[in-house]
Chains A and B, each alone.
Chain A
């Protein structure tokens, strides 16, 4: 179903945007590093890919005149979520550029702000990339090198958003939120009606954790049993 696809894509974009925000917040502080800059770059690229995918998918449906009224309402809602997400992303990208220029890691007199942060951001980046581990392969001056790319990408995003505004006519104010105030307190999935097919990372994690716990429990019990059996045997033998 088209709607499910779109929702999934949107969820993915949302996740990456959230991670990107975490990473950008770290720039200029004591957790800043070349690795962080590389993480920023990779996360950004992923976000852009997802953005393009989202846009393409949604515009197809929005331009389709044959879809039902309810469907159209839903797509418009998704569209508004998409555009808002892009707005947040764009602002974060601009902030990243500004701070990247300000806090260049190899500059002689540049001192990072002592923010109280000391840990890394690998976990966040891995979450964004949906990867187990992050590989760092960039040069040691990526913080500077990346800035030009970042600028170009900001322009691209800006243009894309302009184009979207021009071509897709979805009035924001007509969209009604499906979530009530306080919906975040529930742990259900955030996008629209929950569908059984959707598996969020969290649930996956949960299920994984459960499995490992179960496995550990089983192994422990097994080891215990073996130990008991062996002890009994030893006692019997002796």
Chain B
């Protein structure tokens, strides 16, 4: 509404042009005034263009051209208006007459030229000219009449009154007022050029369309929508990890990543909560890959598996690689839609027609109609039966409720993962290897463990020359020809290693141990590198190998002292003692040559969880021993932190 304009603050400096205009009024130093002679009256305060220009040049000490530009600006903004050619908003450098505009009509930002005012002006002009308006004015008039029709009665009233009130003024002033108004509206509502018209029309048009669409939107009572929100919240309360906690535990708090493992997309046994969600509505079921899997099983039994297959194919088309749209669409047609297709879906003739037609120009959403049809079919028909089916019941029964993680404060492990870059590389290498080598049993579990019993196995392939393993770079030089690892490429290590982070002292040992056991490949490589110097690409790496090996020796000696499951790696594990390890550990040096020979190429190491470890292995608390021993070795072992940059970080913090 108009009255939303803010009151004007007393701004000290008005627009510079205004100050200039004020100066022009000066009876002594201002512009020379003349009288405009009209038929009936004479009106004072007229100026010639040339006088104005001369004044500008003199006052501002600017050139002819600059003054002309400035003068044009002054006229175009409406501070001065031409008397003889009102529509020509330029300052002519000749005897054409101009007059100052009254301050009311000066351009301001606070009060833009309003439609209501313009309508009143046009109505007044209509009265004065007895209906003869210019074409563009007529257009504007009619447009405004439609646009602000609800104000029209007022506009007519006010126009008439303003016209009558004007008659109370003397004739000359009345004439001047009319000129002022006309000048103002010529500035603010100029006779529109086609281009501008188009712009404004398209703007108006899009506004109209937007508003029409808004009107068509279905509206819901707030009571209904609020009820919906409440119902939703109640239903999902149990499922919200923030509100209701999550089992076994929040990984971010306890560092136990079991929660994520148990809720993987295609996990074997889903959790009870998850299965419960499938019962909420069809959407939940179909959005969950595991749910879909179960549902597919059911559908197969009912011989309608093609429906879900089709739906999935549609999703793939929508969200998949768009460069393959054509092929995918063809594939879908051949498999699902063509008469006599292998997995023909049952949709009505009309939808089929539309779809087939659309497939001639395939795009992302060409199958939408058919997909919706099939979706609704499944939802209304199969979903209900699935909920009552024995398949679902079985899944529900098998669904697990994880136990709460035992969180003990003494074992506050700090965790972080290895760089995803490394992980990805290693994954890719593993895949490549798996493709080429004899299939090895790869078990890769999550690297993060909690203080809880959890076996993690680290798989990876370490290339001797992989430049990205930052850990290798961190090996300070050590004497060559050092420890080999108890594990060689030839046979998978029986050691299962969990990489855990430990508090300071623990961490060091742990680190070194894990360095020893988990990152054996890299160590081995390191060993290899030092031995066969030509395989190393970076001098740094080379330099660092020796020291690393010395550390290896130290760590292994410690390792040996402890006997079996001293490593905190096995701390909470069942007594799976690496006594086997110890036996392996001994021929450390002896194995070295073997190791280095076998590791002349890429090294693949796979670790498996060994089950048959003697039970009499004790689990030693690590800390005390650590603290005793770690005197001079602390620093070194910290530096030695190998492929686990996080451990470096942690140690850096702790140390």
Q: List residues of A whose CB falls within 8 A of some B CB.
A: 11, 14-15, 17-19, 21-22, 24-31, 77, 80-81, 84-88, 90-91, 94-95, 97-99, 101-103, 111-119, 121, 123-124, 126-128, 151, 154, 158, 161, 172-179, 181-185, 190-192, 201-202
Contacts and interface: CB of A to CB of B under 8 A. Distances in A.
Contacts of B150: 80, 172-177
Query: Shortest 5 CB-CB distances between A and B: which pairs?
Result: A123-B168, A177-B152, A18-B161, A28-B103, A119-B170
Contact of B151 (A30, A84, A154, A190): A84
Interface stretch (B39-47, B230-238, B293-301, B485-493): B39-47
A31 B173 contact: yes
A190 to B, nearest CB: 4
Nearest to A82: B154
A102 B106 CA distance: 13
A77 B501 CA distance: 78
Contacts of A11: 157
A56 B145 CA distance: 29
Given A25-B177, A94-B5, A182-B126, A99 B103 contact: yes
A201 B145 CA distance: 27
Interface residues of B, number: 67
Contact of B152 (A161, A173, A179): A179
Nearest to B114: A91
B277 to A, nearest CB: 45
Given A113-B25, A115-B99, A116-B36, A81 B2 contact: no
A205 B105 CA distance: 32
10 contacts: A25-B102, A27-B103, A87-B116, A90-B3, A103-B103, A117-B173, A177-B150, A183-B156, A184-B126, A201-B164
B180 A111 contact: no
A17 to B, nearest CB: 7
Nearest to A165: B1
B176 A117 contact: yes
A91 B3 contact: yes
B127 interface: yes
- The B interface, classified by DSSP as helix, strand, loop or mixed, is helix
Interface in B18-66: 21-22, 25-27, 30, 33, 36, 43-46
Interface string B143-154: 001000111111
Given A102-B103, A119-B169, A94 B127 contact: no
User: Which of A18, A86, A97, A184 has most chain B Cβ within 10 Å?
Assistant: A184
B600 interface: no
Given A26-B102, A115-B180, A14 B165 contact: no
Contact of A15 (B14, B44, B161): B161
A178 to B, nearest CB: 6
B162 A21 contact: yes
Interface in B112-145: 114, 116-117, 123-124, 126-127, 130-131, 141-142, 145
A190 B153 CA distance: 7
B169 A114 contact: no
Contacts of A178: 153
Nearest to B47: A114
Interface string B1-16: 1110101101000100
A213 B176 CA distance: 31
A227 to B, nearest CB: 36
A18 B45 contact: no
Contact of B160 (A25, A128, A190): A190
B226 to A, nearest CB: 23
Nearest to A191: B157
Contacts of A161: 3
Contact of A22 (B110, B157, B166): B166
B10 to A, nearest CB: 6
B100 interface: yes
Contacts of B164: 18, 127, 201-202
B99 A94 contact: no
Contacts of B165: 15, 18-19, 21-22, 124, 127-128
B151 to A, nearest CB: 5
B158 A85 contact: yes
Contacts of B154: 14, 80-81, 84-85
A108 to B, nearest CB: 12
B517 interface: no
Contacts of B177: 22, 25, 117
Contacts of A27: 102-104
Contacts of B43: 116
User: Which of A24, A81, A97, A101 has most chain B Cβ within 10 Å?
Assistant: A81
B111 interface: yes
Interface string B591-630: 0000000000000000000000000000000000000000
B163 to A, nearest CB: 8
Given A14-B154, A91-B5, A114-B44, A181 B145 contact: yes
A85 B108 CA distance: 22
Given A26-B104, A84-B151, 15 more contacts: A15-B165, A22-B162, A25-B102, A81-B151, A86-B3, A88-B116, A97-B8, A102-B103, A114-B100, A115-B45, A117-B176, A118-B172, A119-B169, A123-B168, A184-B124
Nearest to B177: A25
A22 B160 contact: no
B278 to A, nearest CB: 47
A97 B10 CA distance: 10
A114 B33 contact: yes
Contacts of A124: 165, 168-169
B158 A87 contact: no
Given A87-B3, A111-B25, A116 B176 contact: yes
